[in-house]
Amino acid sequence: MDLTNLARLDIERMNVELRNAIAHLVDEQDVPLSQRDRQQLTDEIINEVHGLGPIEPLMRDPEISDILVNTSRQVYVERLGKLEPTSVIFRDDAHLLADHRPHRVARSGRRVDESSPMVDARLPDGSRVNAVIPPLALDGPILSIRRFGLQRVTIDDLLRYGSVDAGHREHDAYDGTRASQHPRLRAAPARARRRS
């Protein structure tokens, strides 16, 4: 496989090429791996090459709305409105920085380095990213990714998740239909448009 041409391939073709190259190397080195271990190794390499490394599987989970990396050894997710720890870790701070610094953030036109140790950006899927590195992050680099679901959250969802109680159900602030019909709320966006 000619690695110099990887940048020119689409993602699906690149995955096929990488999977073939990994299978060839494992066979050539006569590495004793089960089929499951081979698949895991292949997935991890592909996630490193064009994904977000160890957190790439979290990005594909539709139940996860936030990913919080509190240093390379501690990753939390918000799943269905509840914060929970994960078993995901990075090898070290350099691994975390390699996956999320400059080329990942550069797609958004932003950079994060020692002279600009904090950045807010968007990933290609629309997710919002905030990264802070030393010297601002005292214990090591931190990263938060806010993902947006494909479905809108309704008042029934908020009630089910325990985000609001039933007493708020009738309140205008939680009812988008009635709130959008409120004259003061309707006027605010119009005023903002006139200023631009």
63-115 pLDDT, tens digit per residue, is 999 999 998 899 999 998 899 999 999 989 888 877 554 445 555 566 777 78
Cα–Cα distance measured from residue 177 to residue 172, given in angstroms and rounded to the nearest whole number: 8
Asked if residue 120 lies in contact with residue 108, where contact means CB atoms within 8 angstroms, the answer is: no
Between 143 and 104, where is the model more confident? 143
Cα–Cα distance measured from residue 59 to residue 66, given in angstroms and rounded to the nearest whole number: 9
Mean of the per-residue pLDDT values for the chain? 77
Share of the chain above pLDDT 90, in %: 19
- Averaged pLDDT for residues 164-192: 50
What is the C-alpha end-to-end distance of the chain, expressed in Å? 52
For residue 4, pLDDT over 70 is answered with: no
Q: What is the pLDDT of residue 185?
A: 39
Of the candidate ranges 11-25, 97-111, 155-169, the one whose mean pLDDT is the lowest: 97-111
DSSP H helices in the chain: 11-28, 35-50, 56-59, 93-100, 103-106, 155-161, 176-181, 183-195
pTM of the model: 0.63
Between 186 and 149, where is the model more confident? 149
Domain chopping of the chain, boundaries: 3-50, 61-146, 155-195
CATH of 61-146, one of 3.30.450.370, 3.30.1330.10, 3.40.50.970, 3.40.190.10: 3.30.450.370
Q: Strand, coil or helix: what is 69?
A: strand
